[in-house]
Amino acid sequence: AQSVTQPDIHITVSEGASLELRCNYSYGATPYLFWYVQSPGQGLQLLLKYFSGDTLVQGIKGFEAEFKRSQSSFNLRKPSVHWSDAAEYFCAVGAYSGGGADGLTFGKGTHLIIQP
Amino acid sequence: DVKVTQSSRYLVKRTGEKVFLECVQDMDHENMFWYRQDPGLGLRLIYFSYDVKMKEKGDIPEGYSVSREKKERFSLILESASTNQTSMYLCASRWTGEDTQYFGPGTRLTVL
């Protein structure tokens, strides 16, 4: 069965500092990987996704993530955070079976706090 | 833009009541999903549907059922609500052939 681990429940970063959120996955085949963000009281918004090809993917809001197969990781990064980045971040893994509606498996989330 | 709407943002119900949570998407997506979100547990899949009148159990279907009579609408039903079903419920949809799921804003359900 597939699984996702986000080792950090909370992370506090100063505004303007760099950010890295960790994500490790377990999946038997080539995974489809996602990062979603959830602002307080809101639904989930897709930041970026990886299916194949270049292992460094760019997303919205200045985020990027790097897929490392050897480490089963898909860490999210941002060079300089803004106060508006404070939110809950979820890593997810999914499978596309050519027509079946497989749901995503989510990590438990990382709560990002931005210090002034 | 893809739009997924949920009928209520906040809902308060009593134990034993039958509860309907509605989700509507406007992009002709074949696949729709219901998740619940709990602090420290992330999102967990309850049910999904890949076509009208079709449904599949997710990871935690106990205590829930679903209905999909029209392509754009996917309902989650709590036959007899219990306090342990107090949670945030998120609906999502996607096209067959694409893995990106689009989420609604969520319904925060409290069962007293």
pLDDT of residue B34: 96
B53 touches chain A (CB under 8 A): no
Query: Do B33 and A103 make contact, defined as CB atoms within 8 angstroms?
Result: yes
Per residue in B95-112, is it b (16+ CB within 10 Å) or e — as a string?
A: eeeebebbbbebbbbebe
Whether the pLDDT of residue A99 is over 60: the answer is: no
B95 touches chain A (CB under 8 A): no
Whether the pLDDT of residue A25 is over 60: the answer is: yes
Whether the pLDDT of residue A66 is over 70: the answer is: yes
Mean pLDDT value of segment A28-44:
86
A43 touches chain B (CB under 8 A): yes
Residue A97: pLDDT band with limits 50, 70, 90: low
| Token duo for residue A21 | 């959120």
Q: How far is B50 from chain A (nearest CA, A)?
A: 5
Q: Are strands B65-70 and B19-25 parallel, antiparallel or unpaired?
A: unpaired
Residue A27: pLDDT band with limits 50, 70, 90: confident
Beta-strand ranges (E) seen in chain B are: 4-6, 10-13, 19-25, 31-38, 42-49, 56-57, 65-70, 73-78, 87-94, 102-103, 107-111
Segment (H or E) for A45 = strand A44-50
Tokens 């979100």 belong to which residue?
B37
Q: Are strands A10-14 and A32-38 parallel, antiparallel or unpaired?
A: unpaired
DSSP code of residue A61: G
Q: How far is B65 from chain A (nearest CA, A)?
A: 16
Mean pLDDT value of segment A80-90:
96
Per run of 10 residues, the mean pLDDT along chain B (length 112 residues) is 87 97 94 93 92 91 96 96 97 85 93 96
Percent of chain A topping pLDDT 90? 70
A94 touches chain B (CB under 8 A): yes
pLDDT of residue A96: 60
Q: Name the residue in chain B with its Cα closest to that of A101.
A: B50
B99 touches chain A (CB under 8 A): yes
Instruction: In whole angstroms, give the CA distance from residue A30 to residue A24.
Output: 14
Report chain A's mean pLDDT, rounded to a whole number: 90
